[in-house]
């Protein structure tokens, strides 16, 4: 970012939402709604891709915050249960426009995916089949890889700010491929950097206040495990528990749902559950909208609404509680070192996820060509991802028509 851009951004950050005239407050809320509705409609590719797109929109295009501030928010969201990219959207909304922005940014990011999945659930319930969307993702996935690589490059230059954070980032990549637990890894590497950077200081590690949250919510959610009937209330309580305690990707969600929905409660078959997760991954926005699909299958329209609210509600509450502490964490030498370590480890994990996504996306010569052209577009010509994602879908459609994709 140029000095002029940084100066403009600093001026923006000085003026809080509460201090703005009413008209400018409405303008901020409208901007948040516009940006996150658009992201909710084009954000294919999972949390890593979502974060990349938010970085482009929030830091580069609109200059709502610095990349360092965004990294701090990413680090905090990685320590909380629930859907990380959605929590990041909620954090950005809260930073930009208080509790109103929190609600608008999060809801607008979730809403497009929820509506799409809701419609597909109704079609699935009628025809008992998954719509054939492979041709669409065939072209979109390589584009997503290029977008994520650009974000890794930009965020990595800020996160790897010294020797300890650089080493931690590399260690996180290795740990990802070793299959270590992500949340434990983030905490341990954050503590390592905190201790290294403050080895001459004495005191307590104030960053540890984040750790009890998942345990508290796990105890609250545990009471809802045994459900005797499939009503919308039962669906809401079930997914509320998941939103309170679940870390990880859509694959972790699949394991959780398999154990409770299929094996314990026998509400769905394994085939139905796999179709539900596939729909959540085929559509843009949060993968956790799988809850919309499952909720519809279990309790109709009311179940779709209840499942969606249940799984995402804890994210809104957690961000509302934790966000005011983020600046205090950064000012503390101990907590600041901890956040530096978590940020670097998060980027290392993101790099590992990108490699795994690349293995899925790059399946033949055409997808390799698409990712190369997309990388040139984002790195050299700075083309917005809002244009690249539909272009990737068009390439997938064309390949389907021409017979490249069966």
Q: Report the pLDDT value the prediction gives residue 74, as an integer from 0 to 100.
A: 87
Name the more confident of 336 and 22.
22
Q: Report the pLDDT value the prediction gives residue 39, as an integer from 0 to 100.
A: 92
- pLDDT tens-digit map of 4-44: 444 444 444 447 887 888 888 899 999 999 999 999 998 88
Q: Report the pLDDT value the prediction gives residue 132, as an integer from 0 to 100.
A: 60
- pLDDT tens-digit map of 209-243: 433 333 333 333 333 333 345 899 999 999 998 88
Angle between the N-to-C axes of helices 22-42 and 385-402, in degrees from 0 to 180, rounded to the nearest 10? 20
Backbone φ and ψ for 55, nearest 5 degrees, come out as -60, -45
Is 331 within 8 Å of 112 (Cβ atoms)? no
Is 392 within 8 Å of 374 (Cβ atoms)? yes
The whole-number average pLDDT for the span 289-305 is 94
3-state secondary structure of 133: coil
| Residues whose CB falls within 8 Å of the CB of residue 227, separated by 6 or more in sequence, listed in order | 234, 237, 238, 265
Q: Which of 330, 325, 318 is nearest to 86 (CA)?
A: 318
Is 51 within 8 Å of 85 (Cβ atoms)? yes
Distances, alpha carbon 272 to alpha carbons 81, 184, 229, 278, in Å: 25, 32, 19, 10
Is 233 within 8 Å of 239 (Cβ atoms)? no
Name the more confident of 180 and 170.
170
Centroid of chain to Cα 167: 25
Q: Give, for 110, the enclosing helix (H) or strand (E).
A: helix 84-127
The torsion defined by the Cα of 281, 375, 350 and 156, in degrees rounded to 10, comes to -150
The string over 81-98, giving b where at least 16 C-beta atoms fall within 10 Å of a residue's C-beta and e elsewhere, is: bbbbbbbbbbbbbbbbbb
The whole-number average pLDDT for the span 323-349 is 80
Angle between the N-to-C axes of helices 385-402 and 365-379, in degrees from 0 to 180, rounded to the nearest 10? 160
Q: pTM surpassing 0.75?
A: no
Name the more confident of 273 and 130.
273
* Helices (H), ranges, 208-325: 212-222, 232-245, 250-257, 270-282, 290-322
| pLDDT band at 47; cut points 50, 70, 90 | confident
The whole-number average pLDDT for the span 61-65 is 91
Is 308 within 8 Å of 110 (Cβ atoms)? yes
Task: Give the long-range contacts of residues 21-29, CB within 8 A, separation 24 or more.
Answer: 25/97, 28/96, 28/97, 28/101, 29/97, 29/100, 29/101, 29/104
The whole-number average pLDDT for the span 132-143 is 77
Distance, CA of 334 to CA of 67 (rounded, Å): 21
| pLDDT band at 129; cut points 50, 70, 90 | low
Tokens 């596939």 label which residue? 278
Backbone φ and ψ for 280, nearest 5 degrees, come out as -60, -30
The domain locations on the chain are 3-210+320-402, 212-318
């Amino acid at each position: 970012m140029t000095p002029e851009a940084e100066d403009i951004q600093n001026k923006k950050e000085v003026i809080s939402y509460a201090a703005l005239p009413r008209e400018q407050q409405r303008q901020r809320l409208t901007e948040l709604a516009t940006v996150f509705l658009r992201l909710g409609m084009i954000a294919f590719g999972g949390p890593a891709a979502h974060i990349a797109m938010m970085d482009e929109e929030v830091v580069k295009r609109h200059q709502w915050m610095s990349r360092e501030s965004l990294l701090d928010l990413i680090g905090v969201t990685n320590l909380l249960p629930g859907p990380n990219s959605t929590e990041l959207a909620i954090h950005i909304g809260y930073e930009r426009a208080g509790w109103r922005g929190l609600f608008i940014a999060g809801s607008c990011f979730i809403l497009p995916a929820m509506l799409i999945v809701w419609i597909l659930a109704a079609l699935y319930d009628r025809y008992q089949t998954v719509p054939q969307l492979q041709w669409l993702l065939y072209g979109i996935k390589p584009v997503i890889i290029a977008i994520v690589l650009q974000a890794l490059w930009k965020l990595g230059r800020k996160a790897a700010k010294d020797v300890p954070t650089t080493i931690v980032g590399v260690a996180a990549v290795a740990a990802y491929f070793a299959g270590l637990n992500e949340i434990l890894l983030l905490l341990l590497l954050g503590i390592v950097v905190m201790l290294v950077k403050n080895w001459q200081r004495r005191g307590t590690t104030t960053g540890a206040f984040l750790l009890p949250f998942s345990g508290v919510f796990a105890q609250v959610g545990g009471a809802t495990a045994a459900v005797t009937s499939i009503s919308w209330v039962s669906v809401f309580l079930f997914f509320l528990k998941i939103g309170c305690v679940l870390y990880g990707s859509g694959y972790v969600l699949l394991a959780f749902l398999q154990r409770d929905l299929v094996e314990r409660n026998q509400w769905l078959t394994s085939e139905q559950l796999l179709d539900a997760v596939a729909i959540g991954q085929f559509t843009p926005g949060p993968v956790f909208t799988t809850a919309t699909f499952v909720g519809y299958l279990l309790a109709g329209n009311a179940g779709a609404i209840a499942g969606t609210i249940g799984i995402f509600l804890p994210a809104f509450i957690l961000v509302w509680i934790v966000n005011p502490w983020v600046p205090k964490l950064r000012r503390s030498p101990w907590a600041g070192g901890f956040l530096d370590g978590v940020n670097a480890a998060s980027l290392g994990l993101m790099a590992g996820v990108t490699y795994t996504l690349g293995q899925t996306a790059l399946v033949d010569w055409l997808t390799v060509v698409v990712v190369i052209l997309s990388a040139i577009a984002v790195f050299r010509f700075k083309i917005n991802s809002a244009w690249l994602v539909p272009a990737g879908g068009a390439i997938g459609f064309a390949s389907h028509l021409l017979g490249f994709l069966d």
